[in-house]
Amino acid sequence: MDLHGMAPHSESGKLEQVVSQFLLKSLHIILDSRIPSLHPRDPTCDSRVRKSDKWFNLVLGDRPAALDNLNFWHRNLMDPMIIDIILVQQGTAISTSVGNLLSGSPGRTATETVIERWLVQFESPPRGTASQPSEGSAASYKKTYKKSIIFLRSLYLQTRLLPAYRIFKQLSSSSQPFNFDIIYKVSSFSEPFSRVEEEMMKEYRFVPIEALPGRLHVSVTYRPQLSEFNLQPLTTMPPKIISDYVGSPATDPLRYFPSSYKGDRAISFPSKVMHSPTSVPFQRPHSWTSGFHKPVVNHHLAGSPTVYRTSQMSYDSPSPPMERMQNHRRPLHQRAPFYDECQLSPPFSPSVSPSTPTYLRNSESPRQTRAISETAPVTIPSPISGRSSRYISPNFSDPSKLSLPPLSPRSTRLDNSSNESPSGMRLIKKPEASRADLGSAGQKVLKDNKDDSGRFSGLLSSSDSPRVGFSRSSSKLSFQDDIDDCDFSCPFDVDDVDPPDSRISQNVDWKRNLESTSMGRKSQDAAVGVLVHMLRTAPPLRQDSSCYSSRSLRAEVENDGVATTASGFFMPRRTSDALEELRSYREMKDLLLSKSGTRVLTREPP
Amino acid sequence: MNCEVCQLKELEVEHFEIREVLRCILHTIVFHRALGLVRPKVIDLELFDITYVQCGDGELEKKIDEKIEQFISWVEKHPNKKSQVCISFYEVKNKHPSWFTNKTERLYWEQWYINLNVSQQQKVHSGKSHPSKIVVDPGENSLEERSNRRAALESSLREVLFQIIKFVNEKKDHVPPISDGVVYFPYEITIPSSSDSAFGMDMIKRMLQTGHPTMLS
């Protein structure tokens, strides 16, 4: 047995040293197993044996700083050393520093509960008792030392068997914050427990250690049950289901859209979303999760999809996969989508590139886009093109009428935005040819639609760039309209068929009043042109327009307006031609009759 | 020198729990009897919410594990029997060499008896039960019984550890002086031998070695 650093002079001095070191070692053992901040993270990495470790042959590692100051307050070895292990629970917020806890900062309700109280005391006999012989003293401190070694072994184990060790393990083993903390208080006096507290606590007293002339007493009063305290990991945000976290184009996944858009066009994104739910929606988790992870800091449910972004499912309302992923968020999909789409538009800002909101505004254009991305936009453009090519040319002499032909080329261009580029090209050619007949009016219209034409030219250059067809100088306005139409149903919904019909009827009325309307409605020209073509090709419209034709003939004479002239394109021509023919026949007949009449008169038999 | 004997509380363990229970108890006892320079190593049990302390000596750990494996093998051969594992601390004393005896004498100064009642599941299909395998009998009653039994065993094991702490603190005078450079006192772990009566023979043998007063007289 080797007592290091002991004063060689008096046995009592040696005993005093043993007692002093016993107190320090006891405090070290207790704090090492109760206060996570004092506990070394990786004690195994520290293999050196300190001088303090050699005391009582128990290697504990670095002593806490509090132990260094022990001698300052514990000047008398006879004073008890009381170690309070205090459980601090935060009602509102957790504090990471003891100072904040003890300061009682406003707004924080900290509950402190003493869960353990250790009492280590060296009891010496009252003065006046016979002093021990030196041999006995010499042997006594050695015996005391040996017994202290055994005791401190048992203390080391005892601290790990008590309930407080469990919560210490919780704090020290986990990196996440908890709603509680453990602090300690070392003093030579303490307030006694209340009766209620005493009833809730148990006491364990160690067998006193002979430290002649006195004895070392160690006892612990502890709470046998800590389950009454709601000790759990702290989450800055209570776990809740964020019903609209996935699918919002306005949130982080937006960043990843550009990458997914490389090589894709703006319009193609919604089309992909809408029509290829297997593509983009499946891509989204891969691209978004990292995006999800990045911005969200305050949620410990990292990795949980429920944590992340709001309204990210905006495009996913028609998309089953995303719905499967976030089916509890469906309700919010309905409202969000198009507003989010509008918000998404900056990457596809109307001024920069064709934007989704642009075509969203137009009931036709969604259909167009739908047709573009999904199926061949066959039905609408082809018949119109077929018809328009016939009827465009004759009536371009009238400037008001000329307004219509330009529509058709535009509409043909829009139609050209479909995947059927060859037909579109053909359509373009013919309107161009017809445009030549338009004269200045057509040129004017074309000039008015300069931006559009610019884009149309872009469209023409790349036949499969549907987005261009829908980007106009007035697209900004359309963007605003899109915002207004946020509640509009999905442009790719089947129900959108109805609105175009309604719009067609509206356009018919518009055509009738075209003279009163400003020709500067460039943004509607294309749509009107398309409607016109639809009107032309629709059998019922033809029948109806036959009624109009009679009126239009009169209106034509009266310069009634382009609408009437437009309607007069079809039937009036036929009837007019027929009438002309009839007149010509009549004239001929009259002529013939007149001629034949004389002859008849002459030819009459005698 | 008296030989202090400590009979620990009997534990009802299942076959797969033997290893952890014995490791916990044996290491705890040795830790309290390793009075040389020790760097304690804290171990958390897997089957129970209990933490115990080892000496951190790899050699010691290996020897204890070997003995535990031997005991498990014996238990497999003698199922459903109460058994004891004894760990004894002794001093080596050289006897005066004589013409008929030149052995070193072991003076046992402390013995610990770990009493185990190993119960094996009747549902075990094979004759031998694997320590790592648990045959779970489907049914709420068996699961509830198992969890109750596990909780009871954990409580009993904790009591055994407190019993050890109490014993080592109450009885200190018989502990021999600590030699320099020696970490722990020589020890011996005794498990029941193959024959049924061997355990009694082991006791007699030990008594002869310790030089029990009754035997010498």
A240 touching B (Cβ < 8 Å): no
How many Cβ atoms are within 10 Å of A98's Cβ, its own excluded? 15
- Three-state DSSP class for residue A190: coil
Strands B11-14 and B104-119: parallel
CA distance A55 to chain B (A): 9
Q: Do A153 and B32 touch (CB under 8 A)?
A: yes
Structure tokens at A272: 């992909």
Structural domains of chain B, count: 1
Amino acid at A475: S
Q: What are phi and psi of B41, to 5 degrees?
A: -125, 120
- Which residues of B fall within a CB distance of 8 Å from A150? 32, 35, 168-169, 172, 175
- Which residues of A fall within a CB distance of 8 Å from B175? 146, 150
User: Is residue B76 situated within a structural domain?
Assistant: yes
User: Is residue B216 situated within a structural domain?
Assistant: no
**Residue-by-residue pLDDT tens, chain B, 217 positions:** 578 999 999 999 998 999 999 999 999 999 999 999 999 999 999 999 999 999 988 889 999 999 999 999 999 888 888 899 999 999 888 766 666 666 678 889 999 999 999 887 654 444 454 555 555 555 667 888 888 999 999 999 999 999 999 999 998 888 888 887 788 888 999 988 765 544 555 566 666 655 554 444 4
CA-nearest of A72, A294, A350, A302 to A176 is A302
Residues 177 to 216 of B: which have CB under 8 A from any A CB?
177-178, 180
User: Is residue B211 situated within a structural domain?
Assistant: no
Q: Do A157 and B166 touch (CB under 8 A)?
A: no
User: Is residue B98 situated within a structural domain?
Assistant: no
Mutate to test the interface with B, among A39, A56, A140, A150 (most CBs of B within 10 A): A150
Specify whether the CB–CB gap between B95 and B104 falls below 8 A: yes
pLDDT of residue B40: 92
- Which residues of A fall within a CB distance of 8 Å from B168? 150, 153-154
| Over residues A379-399, mean pLDDT | 45
Mutate to test the interface with A, among B6, B27, B28, B35 (most CBs of A within 10 A): B35
First to last CA, chain B: 16
pLDDT of residue A16: 86
List pLDDT tens digits, range A412-456.
444 444 444 444 344 444 444 444 444 444 444 444 444 444 444
A207 touching B (Cβ < 8 Å): yes
| Over residues A515-533, mean pLDDT | 70
Q: Please list, residue by residue across A470-487, b when 16 or more beta carbons sit within 10 angstroms of its beta carbon and e when fewer do.
A: bbbbbbeebbebbbebbe
CA-nearest of A327, A348, A385 to A257 is A348
| Over residues A270-294, mean pLDDT | 40
User: Is residue B38 situated within a structural domain?
Assistant: yes
Q: Do A150 and B158 touch (CB under 8 A)?
A: no
Nearest-Å Rg of the Cα atoms of chain A is: 47
pLDDT of residue A286: 36
Specify whether the CB–CB gap between A258 and A347 falls below 8 A: yes
| Over residues A196-201, mean pLDDT | 89
Euclidean distance between CA atoms B217 and B211, whole angstroms: 10
List A582's β-bridge partners, or say none: none
Full residue range of the structural domain in which residue B23 is found: 4-92+106-192
Q: Do A161 and B51 touch (CB under 8 A)?
A: yes
A166 touching B (Cβ < 8 Å): yes
A2 touching B (Cβ < 8 Å): yes
How many Cβ atoms are within 10 Å of A208's Cβ, its own excluded? 17
Residue B139 gets the label, from left (phi > 0), alpha (psi -120 to 50) or beta, of: left
Q: Which of A2, A49, A166 has the CB atom closest to B180's CB atom?
A: A2
Structure tokens at A353: 């590139």
Q: Which of A57, A150, A156 has the CB atom closest to B53's CB atom?
A: A156
pLDDT of residue A578: 87
- Three-state DSSP class for residue A260: helix
CA atoms within 13 A on the CB side of A197: 12
Cα–Cα distances in Å, from A553 out to A73, A465, A535, A545, A560? 115, 40, 18, 11, 9
Q: Is pLDDT of A290 > 50?
A: no
Kindly indicate the confidence band of residue A83, based on its pLDDT and cuts at 50, 70 and 90: very high
User: Is residue B212 situated within a structural domain?
Assistant: no
Kindly indicate the confidence band of residue A13, based on its pLDDT and cuts at 50, 70 and 90: confident
Kindly indicate the confidence band of residue A39, based on its pLDDT and cuts at 50, 70 and 90: low
Specify whether the CB–CB gap between A524 and A532 falls below 8 A: no
CATH classification at residue B53: 3.30.900
Kindly indicate the confidence band of residue A160, based on its pLDDT and cuts at 50, 70 and 90: very high
How many Cβ atoms are within 10 Å of B2's Cβ, its own excluded? 9
User: Is residue B201 situated within a structural domain?
Assistant: no
Q: Which of A49, A54, A156 has the CB atom closest to B40's CB atom?
A: A156
Distance of CA A268 to the CA centre of its chain: 21
- Which residues of B fall within a CB distance of 8 Å from A59? 37-40
List pLDDT tens digits, range A538-594.
776 555 444 444 444 454 444 444 444 444 444 556 788 888 888 888 888 888 888
pLDDT of residue B166: 94
Q: What are phi and psi of A274, to 5 degrees?
A: -75, -40
Kindly indicate the confidence band of residue A241, based on its pLDDT and cuts at 50, 70 and 90: confident
Q: Which of B28, B37, B44 has the CB atom closest to A54's CB atom?
A: B37
Residue A305, preceding peptide bond in cis (omega within 30° of 0)? no
Element spanning A122, H or E: strand A110-123
Write down the residue that tokens 């594992």 correspond to: B85
CA-nearest of B48, B44, B32 to B155 is B48
- Which residues of B fall within a CB distance of 8 Å from A207? 166, 169-170
pLDDT of residue A584: 87
- Three-state DSSP class for residue A109: coil
List pLDDT tens digits, range A308-353.
334 444 444 444 444 444 444 444 444 444 444 444 344 344 444 4
Q: Do A157 and B165 touch (CB under 8 A)?
A: yes
pLDDT of residue A493: 40
Q: Do A154 and B180 touch (CB under 8 A)?
A: no
Distance of CA B20 to the CA centre of its chain: 11
| Better pLDDT: B52 or A277 | B52
pLDDT of residue A513: 55
Mutate to test the interface with A, among B6, B29, B38 (most CBs of A within 10 A): B38
Cα–Cα distances in Å, from A544 out to A90, A379, A554? 79, 21, 16
User: Is residue B29 situated within a structural domain?
Assistant: yes
Kindly indicate the confidence band of residue A71, based on its pLDDT and cuts at 50, 70 and 90: low
Q: Which of B39, B42, B180 has the CB atom closest to A59's CB atom?
A: B39
| Better pLDDT: A29 or A126 | A29
Q: Do B35 and A151 touch (CB under 8 A)?
A: no
